[in-house]
Amino acid sequence: MSKFKKSSNTQQEIPTAALPDIIFMLLFFFMVTTVMRETDILVKQQLPKATQLQKIERKSLVSYIYIGEPKNVSLFGDEPKVQTNDAFVDIDDVILFVNQEKDKLSEAERDKITMSMKVDVGVKMGIVSDVQQELREANALKVLYSSIKRGED
């Protein structure tokens, strides 16, 4: 039976000295990928619910347009407004915003730009269709009506 006798001089423990390094590596990964800064959304955003949702294929091609009633009613009134980046814009200036966003992309990708419309449910279609007319004018034809999956409250 001495054949199976355990050799006692082998190390039984797994070395844990490298554990902190592994954890730090993971930590740095998450620190780098976390996007802390999001645009300060100045409008109410209760997105509509829908069932037929599609994912965005490439995030770098997406720009956001927020439409809704301003959160700060005493300062901006209660009429729905359009927000791009961090500020309210007039509807006529949406075309400027689209062109700015297009300039950030390379030549070949400009036509693939997708505008994600984050519109509050309380908004009427008038302002939405005005923005859409501007988007047509700016030749940004791919639109995504951002919504939440129904049944996931």
Other CB atoms within a 10 A radius of the CB of residue 52 amount to: 7
Distance between CA atoms of 142 and 107, rounded to whole angstroms? 17
Residue among 73, 101, 97 nearest 83 (CA)? 97
- Minimum distance of other proteins from residue 1's CB (angstroms): 40
Pair of tokens at residue 140:
């940004």
Query: Which is nearer to other proteins, 9 or 79 (by Cβ)?
Result: 79
- Minimum distance of other proteins from residue 62's CB (angstroms): 7
- Close Cβ partners of 56 (under 8 Å, ≥ 6 residues apart): 62, 114, 116, 144
Distance between CA atoms of 149 and 144, rounded to whole angstroms? 14
Query: Which is nearer to other proteins, 5 or 26 (by Cβ)?
Result: 26
Pair of tokens at residue 99:
């062109």
Query: Which is nearer to other proteins, 75 or 134 (by Cβ)?
Result: 134
- Minimum distance of other proteins from residue 11's CB (angstroms): 19
- Close Cβ partners of 127 (under 8 Å, ≥ 6 residues apart): 67, 80, 82, 91
Query: Which is nearer to other proteins, 89 or 123 (by Cβ)?
Result: 123
- Minimum distance of other proteins from residue 125's CB (angstroms): 4
- Minimum distance of other proteins from residue 35's CB (angstroms): 8
Q: Which residues contact other proteins by CB under 8 A?
A: 16, 19-20, 23-24, 26-27, 30-31, 33-35, 48, 50-57, 59, 62, 114, 116-117, 119-126, 128-129, 132-133, 135-137, 139, 141-149
Query: Which is nearer to other proteins, 9 or 51 (by Cβ)?
Result: 51
